[in-house]
Amino acid sequence: MTARPDAYAGFPPGFFARDDERPDAEFYGPPRLVTHIDDAAIAAVGDLYAELGIDGSAPVPRRVLDLMSSWVSHFRTPPAELVVLGMNARELAANPAATGRVVQDLNADPRLPLPDGDVDAAVCCVSIDYLTRPIEVLAEAGRVLRPGGPLVVTFSNRCFPTKAVHGWLATTDEQHGALVAELVRRAGAFTEPEVSLRTPPGAGDPLYAVVAFRR
């Protein structure tokens, strides 16, 4: 599935540019075996996955794609199959929940190396702000999802500012939810996205979620 030619119409010039436009492989070359949100936000991610029935507690085994993944995927109970796609081979190798690993720079090539309708769910945790071609990536997520499967995009207020796109840095936490929802709409594969704050205000890192389902 490809994005429409006019998918980015209306976004200001430079919205998806970054301060650091060096190849991402240079920036993400050194492994970073750290977490990028606090424990409460991590727990909120796991709770959301469990509520949606895409982790290992689901009565039916699930095959899940974790986009822009790392050494940890924040499932309370890992799903039966978890394909992790990220930039750093050592980080992915350290992910104990992974059953499949793909090293790929989605900014260089947004095409996912999976067949149509291959996964039950696709997740992207605290990484959507780094995509320079997000609509293509989300359209690809729609292609590899089975009908009815959820797309789950979670994010907080932390980032590597030189690698986050300018439009993300220029908008507020609350506006980020509207932005991600609009990107999901423009991907053209999903139901109307729902935006929610998953952690109590003022209680550590905020954790926002945008959830939509493959039509």
For Cα atoms 55, 184, 127, give the angle at the middle one, nearest 5 degrees: 60
Domain count, the chain: 1
Residue 3 lies in a domain: no
pLDDT of amino acid 4: 78
Residue 2 lies in a domain: no
Asked whether 106 and 67 are in contact (CB, 8 A), the reply is yes
pLDDT of amino acid 33: 67
Residue 4 lies in a domain: no
pLDDT of amino acid 3: 82
Which residue range(s) make up the domain with 138? 24-213
Residue 127 lies in a domain: yes
Residue 165 lies in a domain: yes
- CATH assignment of the domain containing 129: 3.40.50.150
Cβ burial of 151 (10 Å; 0-12, 13-18, 19+) is buried
What pTM was estimated for this model as a whole? 0.96
**Positions in the chain short of pLDDT 50:** none
Residue 110 lies in a domain: yes
The edge-to-edge listing of strands for the beta sheet with 100-103 is: 100-103, 81-86, 63-67, 121-125, 150-155, 208-213, 194-197
Residue 116 lies in a domain: yes
Residue 105 lies in a domain: yes
